[in-house]
């Protein structure tokens, strides 16, 4: 077949119309832009051959038209396969699969051109290539295994770039899935390359897919002496204070069994991003220690029989916590009216508590009946003012707070939060009950001290407590505090 110059008059407008339509389609669907170049090359080659009278019959000049046509057909077929894959699988077709299909189509097209246009006989070549292919296949069986395993991974798409996965016993985030290997970024920031055939031979656990919240469990052993309801209640407080803990779905707590030396509890929590679980578990374990220590819940050690040789007692000159507490109490004005015996009875009823940095010790407006003395660490005192929370002061070792709640039952007038890890001594209402019942006159002295302290605090900027009764003189304030103490303790 020979294209004549007159044919160019028909080809040119048709080619321009088709090219304009294809360009318009490329604006709407950017994926079709790859067709514009080959189509324009085909049209230009056809017009040139028509003007020069070059036949389409087998000739070297025909390649100017056939090669762009082959490229156009292959790219159109590739776009069609991608569209079908997207409709059926719901995701884009893997790049590796597209590349393999394109290579196969190019090979078939070039073979057809060589046979039909140039009369090349392909049978001897195919026979020779079969032998060469067998040899090459044996030599490159691992490489070819990786190739076909990569095609399977791209087709099934069990993992995507960005997913956290476990392959065999190794965890990492997927950075690339190529024709040869899967590349992972481990927790340590290292790059791990796993051949595709090894990935295909092992199960792949995808921590990221599906996108719904995933869960993990934390197990903790607790002494048999701790009531289960109490332990579960404390664990709920831990989860409420854990920073960044998702609340939807809510975490769950279960008693899962009895062990040799402990009762086993399971805390199941949910997370949206897999990389968050290490931080969340660290936060849970950290807070469990502080909360269990405060609530006298023991995490038992494994039981063993150990023979211990007693060493001679050492002379330790360091001050014990009990000695520090006694020294501190004697320096607190509120306890000056107490005798040594009464002070020792209070010391015997005092509880040591431990709070982690960032934990709230008391909340403004909450009820309470306890008094705190700081043994070690630092706390911040804050109060809601005008819709915002303002830090008023910081208290350190030897200072105290909560005296009005202890002696009158007044609600907390400020929020106290641990700035650093804090060791506290706590004295509650029962510790005072017997002493005031045996010696009610102590209440008079304490009310005098409280009224003086309240008056001083009320005059200071950054008042830690609200006025007990605004607009009253010192005598009235003392009498009202005394009445409140007597009523609260039933004197």
pLDDT value of residue 275: 83
Q: Note down the domain range covering 175.
A: 150-206
Q: Does 395 lie in the same domain as 359?
A: yes
Q: How many domains does the chain have?
A: 4
Q: Does 276 lie in the same domain as 227?
A: yes
Low-confidence ranges of the chain (pLDDT < 50): 1-3, 135-137, 139-140, 460-471
Phi, then psi, of 185 in degrees rounded to 5? -110, 115
Query: Please, is 360 exposed, middle or buried when counting C-beta atoms within 10 Å of its C-beta (0-12, 13-18, 19+)?
Result: middle
Q: Does 248 lie in the same domain as 283?
A: yes
Between CA 37 and CA 71 the distance in angstroms is: 9
Q: Does 425 lie in the same domain as 329?
A: yes
Q: Does 402 lie in the same domain as 272?
A: no
Tokens found for residue 420:
């650093």
The DSSP letter of residue 365 is T
pLDDT value of residue 82: 74
pLDDT value of residue 167: 83
| In-domain check, residue 316 | no
Phi, then psi, of 441 in degrees rounded to 5? -65, -20
| In-domain check, residue 247 | yes
DSSP string, 219-232: EEEE-TTS-HHHHH
| In-domain check, residue 33 | yes
For 316-337, how does the pLDDT look when each residue is reduced to its tens digit (9 = 90+)?
Answer: 556 677 777 777 777 777 777 7
Q: Does 353 lie in the same domain as 290?
A: no
Tokens found for residue 380:
């911040």
List the alpha helices (DSSP H) in 157-217. Answer: 196-201
pLDDT value of residue 315: 54
User: Which residue(s) pair with 253 in the sheet?
Assistant: 267
Q: Does 221 lie in the same domain as 172?
A: no
- pTM exceeding 0.75: no
Domain CATH code at residue 218: 3.30.70.100
Domain CATH code at residue 178: 2.30.30.60
Q: Does 45 lie in the same domain as 180?
A: no
pLDDT value of residue 222: 92
Q: Does 382 lie in the same domain as 277?
A: no
Q: Does 263 lie in the same domain as 283?
A: yes
Q: Does 337 lie in the same domain as 270?
A: no
| In-domain check, residue 299 | no
Q: Does 235 lie in the same domain as 174?
A: no
For 109-138, how does the pLDDT look when each residue is reduced to its tens digit (9 = 90+)?
Answer: 777 766 666 666 666 655 555 555 554 445
């Amino acid at each position: 077949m020979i294209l004549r110059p007159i044919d160019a008059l028909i080809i040119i407008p048709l080619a321009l119309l088709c090219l304009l339509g294809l360009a318009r389609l490329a604006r709407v669907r950017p994926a079709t832009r790859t067709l514009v170049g080959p189509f324009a090359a085909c049209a230009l080659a056809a017009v040139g051959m028509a003007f020069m009278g070059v036949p389409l019959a087998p000739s070297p000049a025909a390649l100017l038209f056939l090669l762009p046509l082959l490229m156009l057909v292959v790219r159109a077929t590739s776009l069609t396969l991608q569209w079908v894959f997207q409709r059926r699988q719901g995701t884009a077709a893997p790049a590796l699969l597209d590349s393999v299909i394109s290579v196969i189509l190019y090979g078939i097209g070039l073979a057809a051109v060589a046979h039909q246009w140039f009369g090349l006989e392909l049978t001897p070549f195919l026979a020779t290539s079969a032998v060469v292919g067998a040899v090459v296949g044996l030599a490159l069986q691992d490489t070819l295994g990786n190739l076909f395993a990569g095609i399977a991974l791209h087709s099934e798409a069990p993992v995507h770039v960005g997913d956290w996965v476990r392959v065999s016993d190794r965890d990492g985030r997927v950075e690339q899935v190529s024709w040869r290997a899967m590349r992972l970024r481990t927790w340590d920031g290292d790059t791990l390359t796993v051949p595709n055939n090894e990935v295909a031979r092992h199960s792949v656990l995808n921590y990221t897919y599906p996108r719904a919240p995933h869960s993990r469990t934390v197990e903790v052993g607790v002494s048999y002496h701790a009531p289960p309801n109490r332990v579960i209640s404390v664990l709920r407080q831990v989860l409420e204070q854990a920073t960044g803990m998702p609340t939807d779905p809510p975490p769950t707590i279960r008693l899962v069994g009895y062990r040799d030396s402990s009762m086993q509890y399971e805390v199941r929590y949910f997370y949206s991003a897999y990389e968050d679980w290490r931080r969340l578990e660290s936060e849970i374990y950290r807070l469990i220690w502080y909360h269990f220590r405060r609530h006298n819940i023991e995490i038992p050690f494994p039981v063993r029989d150990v023979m211990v040789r007693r060493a001679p007692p050492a002379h330790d000159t360091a001050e014990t916590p009990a000695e520090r507490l006694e020294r501190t109490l004697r320096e607190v004005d509120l306890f000056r009216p107490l005798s040594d015996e009464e002070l020792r009875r209070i010391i015997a009823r005092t509880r040591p508590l431990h709070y982690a940095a960032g934990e709230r010790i008391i909340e403004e407006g909450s009820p309470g009946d306890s008094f705190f003395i700081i043994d070690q660490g630092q706390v911040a005192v804050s109060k809601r003012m005008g819709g915002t929370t303002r830090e008023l002061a910081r208290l350190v070792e030897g200072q105290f707070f909560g005296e009005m709640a202890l002696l009158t039952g007044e609600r907390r007038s400020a929020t106290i939060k641990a700035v650093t890890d804090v060791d506290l001594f706590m004295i509650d209402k029962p510790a005072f009950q017997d002493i005031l019942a045996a010696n009610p006159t102590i209440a008079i002295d304490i009310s005098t001290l409280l009224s003086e302290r309240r008056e001083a605090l009320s005059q200071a900027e950054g008042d830690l407590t609200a006025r007990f009764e605004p607009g009253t003189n010192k005598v009235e304030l003392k009498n009202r505090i005394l009445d409140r103490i007597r009523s609260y303790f039933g004197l």
